[in-house]
Amino acid sequence: MRRLLGTIMLLLAAGTLSPAAIAATHRPAGQIPQRFGVRLVDVPVDEAHNPRALRYIVDYLPTGTVVHRRILIMNQEARTARFTIYPDAAQIARGLFTGDAGQTRSELTEWVRVQHQVMTLRPGASATDMVTIKVPPMATRGEHYGVIWVQQAAHLRTARGFGVNDVARIGVRVYLAVGRGGAPPTNFTIASIAGHRSATGRPSILVHVENTGGRAVDLNGTARLADGPGKTAAGPFRAQQIISLAPGQTGNMTFAPPSSLPNGPWQAKVTLTSGLTTSAATATIQFAPLVTSRPGLSVMAWLSLSLVAAVAVLAVVAFIAARRAARRRRAPAWPDGPDTPESPEGPAGW
Q: Which regions in the chain score pLDDT beneath 50?
A: 1-32, 292-297, 333-350
**Number of C-beta neighbours around residue 162 at 10 A:** 9
Per the CB < 8 A criterion, the answer to whether 92 and 217 are in contact is no
Whole-angstrom Cα distance, residue 95 to residue 98?
A: 10
**Number of C-beta neighbours around residue 176 at 10 A:** 21
Per the CB < 8 A criterion, the answer to whether 145 and 104 are in contact is no
Q: Which long-range contacts (CB under 8 A, 24 or more apart) does 128-131 make?
A: 128/41, 128/70, 128/71, 128/72, 128/73, 129/70, 129/71, 129/73, 129/85, 130/68, 130/69, 130/70, 131/57, 131/68, 131/69, 131/70, 131/71, 131/87
**Alpha-carbon distance values, 205 to 51, 164, 199, 254, 344 (Å):** 26, 44, 15, 6, 81
Homologous superfamily of 188-285: Immunoglobulins (2.60.40.10)
- Which residues have CB under 8 Å from 64's CB, separation 6+? 135, 136, 137
The alpha-carbon radius of gyration of the chain (Å, integer) is 35
Whole-angstrom Cα distance, residue 130 to residue 113?
A: 8
Q: What is the pLDDT of residue 47?
A: 80
- The structural architecture, per CATH, of the domain 36-178 is Sandwich (2.60)
**Number of C-beta neighbours around residue 117 at 10 A:** 11
Q: What is the pLDDT of residue 333?
A: 44
Segments making up each domain of the chain, as ranges: 36-178, 188-285
Per the CB < 8 A criterion, the answer to whether 121 and 81 are in contact is yes
- Common-topology check for domains 36-178 and 188-285: yes
Q: What is the pLDDT of residue 102?
A: 75
Burial of 88 (0-12, 13-18, 19+ CB in 10 A): buried
Selection from 131, 159, 142 nearest residue 57 by Cα: 131
Dihedral (CA of 210, 211, 217, 221) sign: negative
Burial of 223 (0-12, 13-18, 19+ CB in 10 A): buried
Local structure of residue 41 (DSSP, 8 states): -
Per the CB < 8 A criterion, the answer to whether 190 and 274 are in contact is no
Q: What is the pLDDT of residue 326?
A: 63
- DSSP letters of 184-217? PPP-EEEEEEEEEE-TTS-EEEEEEEEE-SSS-E
Whole-angstrom Cα distance, residue 26 to residue 246?
A: 33
Q: What is the pLDDT of residue 337?
A: 43
Per the CB < 8 A criterion, the answer to whether 81 and 120 are in contact is yes
Is the model's pTM score more than 0.75? no
The DSSP bridge pattern shows strands 118-121 and 81-93 to be: antiparallel
Dihedral (CA of 80, 85, 88, 93) sign: positive
Percent of the residues in the chain that have a pLDDT greater than 70, as a whole number: 69
Whole-angstrom Cα distance, residue 56 to residue 6?
A: 10
